[in-house]
Structures are given as C-alpha cells and as structure tokens.
Amino acid sequence: MIVGIPKENHPLEPRVAATPATVKDLIKSGLNVCIESGAGQASCISDINYTEAGAKIVDSGPELLSQADIVLKVLPPTTEEISQLKSHSVCVSFFQTTREIQTVKALTERSVTGFSMHLIPRTTLAQKMDALSSQANIAGYKAVLIAATRLGVYMPLLMTAAGTIRPAKILILGAGVAGLQAIATAKRLGAQVEAFDVRQEVKEQVESLGAKFIEVESDSDDGVGEGGYAKETSEDYKRRQQELIHEHMSKANVVITTALIPGRPAPLLIPTSMVDAMKPGSIIMDLAAENGGNCELTEKDQVIEYNQVTIDGTSNIPGTMPVHASELYAKNITAFLTYMIKDGELNLDLEDEIISGAMFTHKGEITHEPTQEAMSA
C-alpha cells in the first residue's frame, strides 16, 4: 500500500504530516511512502532527508494524491484535492467534521474513508495518537512567549537599585492541556498566575503548577462533559462566571483564553465590556480563534488593538514552531495509522473504539453521529 504525504497548500500552514523518523516507521510496517517535493521545507526537512529515510519524492500534489491508498495531512483536503483522491482511499487529517460539512460531503461522494485526529478518543491506549494535546501543548507555551514580547512590563518580580518591579499578572481561562502549559511557562518566567476553568476537578493540577485557581461556586458538575472536556453551562453559572472573570481581568496584564467545546463554536467568555475594563497595554491571546474565539473582538488570524489592548487571534500558534509541531504531529498520526496496519495491509476493525471513534466517513456513508446531525441541521 502507498502512503502519500502532500505539501500543505494553505499559506499559514507550515507543518507536515511526516518526518524522516516516521517515514522509517511506516516502511517498517510494510508500507511504501511517497512525499510531495517540498512538503517538509517549512519544517526544515529537505527532500533528501526523506529519500535517505526511504521515501519516494513525487513532483506534484495531484500525481501523489492519484496514486496514494492512504493520505496523511495536517489540514483537511480542499475540494480540489478531494477530486484527485483515489476512490475508496483513506484520508487522515485534522478534520472538524461538524464545521466542515462540504468537505465531508465531498469525501462521501468519492467513497473516501475519512479519519479525524480531532476525534481520537481520550483513552490510555490512544494517548500516543492524541494530536490535539501535542499541538495544544505548543500553543500554550508559545502564547505566553508571544505575549511576553509584546508586553511593556517585566514578567518576574525584580529587586533593583531603582526600586522593586512587581511581577506581571497573567490570567488563564481554561485549564486543559494548553492552559496548563501556559501556566507552567508563565510561572517559569516569574509571572503571577491565576487560572479559571468550569471543571472543578482541574483545581489540583492548576495549584500544583503554582497558580491560583479562581472558581465559581457550584453544587453540580456544571461544566464537566464527556471525556473530561468542558460542556455548556447553565445561564446562572454563566452570569456568575462573567462577573468573576471581569473582576480578575481588570487587574491582569495578560489574558490567555483556551476554552473549547468539541463540535461547537468556542464559548464567549470576554465581551467587549470586559476589554474596556482592562489596563492599557494589556494583551489577550485567544487560542480559540479558529472556532470563533473566546473574546467578542477576536478576528481570526489578525492582531488588533482596541482601546490600547492588543488582541491576538492567530489560529495556528503551533505552526509558529513548525519543527517540533511537525515532529509531534507526525508521531501522533503515524501511531494511529500503524495501529490499523497488519502485515502491510489496512485492517479497519469497526468494533475497535479508536478506529470507529476517529472514523467519520466510510463506503460513501457518514459514520459519525454528530456529523450526521450537523449535515441534516
């Protein structure tokens, strides 16, 4: 079987779905690997690096897609790329299936089996396939560094001959993988860090990293959803949440938002009125920009200034560290693919929770229930 890795054609996507190390792993599994020329260039991987690992370099994307039995990508294929895929082939990438309905429809029309790295179950067995977490780690880390370069103040407490410099105050909204990494990075830089999350269960993790956990008192598991993800909360909880966030945002130098709900637009945590209350020179890093943003003023892939507050809506922060982002993503997607390979052939065990959980199209049908519901809405 031929595995094809095309060059990502979006101008803001420098990552690639394979590295020389993962090419070797794929070949060990009995697969032939073809890579489009220049696919790894933005991640500092040359065609020669790939050929030395055993891959074949193909000159063009259409040529590669037309011969590949399995296609590995970072972003979902475009409509044009889907038209070039072999019928009954397999495509694996970061599909957001409930938001990319036309892409899903195009895949079913070509009887392409689609797998989304977004849908990998959060289980112990699937941990090494968890691309969302590996990329979120990078986003949390880099968001703090980007904010630090834009701030007009020091991060740490400093004792100088001219007097004492107080540490910057950073507020993290959402204590998932990205949020926890942002806390750890900000603490290493010496900032004073607070974090909020609707899930009371993350309090211990937040405090173990040295941050203060701020919380809305609640008698129920209001924000805890399936698999440990956040879910929609009640209106009363949202009101009290807004009041709490408003109070702490007015004192913060940096606010980093990471709140996402699987399959849904990002929850609105920061209305314009809260931005109005922030200090001049403050920074908002909205890591939910790709899904609409947690801040009302966020503009996807734009950095704007409003009332002397900078709001960064960069949607692909992991892509600002393409070398390690590609290395980690390639390991994740290779672990997933080799899990399905036996004796050099694809073995789609639909009873397997990882395989069935990540699959959303197969044999011309949509197999993922939330995607079916989105299609019919």
Active site positions, annotated: 122, 127, 130, 133, 229
Which amino acid type is present at position 276?
A: D
Please choose, from the candidates 181, 182, 157, the residue with its C-alpha nearest in 3D space to the C-alpha of residue 170. 182
Sign of CA dihedral 367, 369, 374, 377: positive
- Chain-centroid distance of CA 320 in Å reads 13
**What is the number of other CB atoms lying within 10 angstroms of the CB of residue 308?**
10
Query: Residue 341: in which H helix or E strand, if any?
Result: strand 341-342
d(CA 189, CA 182): 11
Please choose, from the candidates 345, 327, 340, 295, the residue with its C-alpha nearest in 3D space to the C-alpha of residue 131. 327
String of DSSP letters for 242-257: HHHHHHHHTT-SEEEE
The three-state (H, E, C) secondary structure of 327-347, written as one string = HHHHHHHHHHHHHCEECCEEC
CB 81 within 8 A of CB 61: yes
Please, is 162 exposed, middle or buried when counting C-beta atoms within 10 Å of its C-beta (0-12, 13-18, 19+)? exposed
CA angle, 15 as apex, 229 and 286 as ends, to 5°? 45
d(CA 221, CA 218): 8
d(CA 182, CA 16): 24
Which amino acid type is present at position 51?
A: T
Label the pairing between strands 163-165 and 158-160: antiparallel
d(CA 60, CA 187): 46
Please, is 217 exposed, middle or buried when counting C-beta atoms within 10 Å of its C-beta (0-12, 13-18, 19+)? exposed
